[in-house]
């Protein structure tokens, strides 16, 4: 049985009927054509489907579309505008943080959410901010550099071995 939901996606209010078992990832990809939200694992482990829901990052493969009723959703497609790419997207390109590109939308959304909440995160806070996103290509250093370059005071002492440290060891 379908349920009518009202959701704002990338600042555009929408009303539509969804199945009760439809995920937010499927809604974004198949109903709205927002294919920047990737489907990697479908179990919430990879972060490729990360979007911002009411100001917090979520794995959209784990959120039912009906749970987004009345919410604001921001996807990678909502970052760019008529002037071009968002500064964080530009930084990912300029720093070589995009290789195959599969993880990039989710990674950028996690980084954006982090920087929206803290415009000058520490090295550890950047690592924590992207810890739910996996990348098989870059080794994370370029991603870290791209995010760090967008801080209000870019870190001059970027740790070359970002996969080490912190209270929980490797990320």
Residue 22: the pLDDT is: 98
Residue 139: the pLDDT is: 81
Longest dimension (CA), the chain: 55
Residue 9: the pLDDT is: 98
Q: Is 3 helix (H, G, I), strand (E, B) or coil?
A: strand
Q: Which token pair is 7?
A: 């959701």
Q: Which residue ranges form the domains of the chain, and what is each CATH number?
A: 2-77 (3.10.20.30), 87-148 (1.10.150.120)
Residue 154: the pLDDT is: 56
Chunked into runs of 10 residues, the chain (171 residues) has average pLDDT values of 97 97 98 97 96 98 98 97 95 94 96 97 96 90 96 58 42 39
Residue 155: the pLDDT is: 54
Residue 164: the pLDDT is: 43
Question: What are the strands of the beta sheet with 50-53, ordered from one edge?
Answer: 12-19, 2-9, 72-74, 50-53, 56-59
Structural contact between residues 129 and 146, judged by C-beta atoms closer than 8 angstroms: no
The DSSP string of 8-53 is EETTEEEEEEEETT-BHHHIIIIIT--TTS--S-SSSSS-TTEEEE
pTM: 0.88
């Amino acid at each position: 049985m379908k349920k009518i939901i009202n959701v704002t996606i990338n600042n555009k209010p929408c009303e539509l009927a969804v199945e009760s078992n439809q995920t937010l990832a499927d809604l974004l990809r198949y109903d709205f054509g927002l294919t920047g939200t990737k489907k990697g694992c479908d179990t919430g482990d990879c972060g490729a489907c990360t979007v911002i829901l009411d100001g917090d990052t979520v794995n959209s493969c784990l959120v039912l579309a009906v749970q987004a009723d009345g919410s604001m959703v921001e996807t990678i497609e909502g970052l760019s505008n008529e002037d071009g790419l968002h500064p964080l997207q530009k930084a990912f390109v300029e720093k070589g943080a995009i290789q195959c590109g599969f993880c990039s939308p989710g990674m950028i959304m996690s980084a954006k959410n982090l920087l929206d909440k803290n415009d000058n995160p520490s090295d550890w806070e950047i690592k924590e901010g992207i810890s739910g996103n996996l990348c098989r290509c870059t080794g994370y250093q370029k991603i870290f550099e791209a995010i760090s370059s967008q801080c209000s005071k870019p870190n001059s002492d970027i740790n070359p071995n970002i996969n080490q440290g912190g209270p929980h060891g490797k990320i």
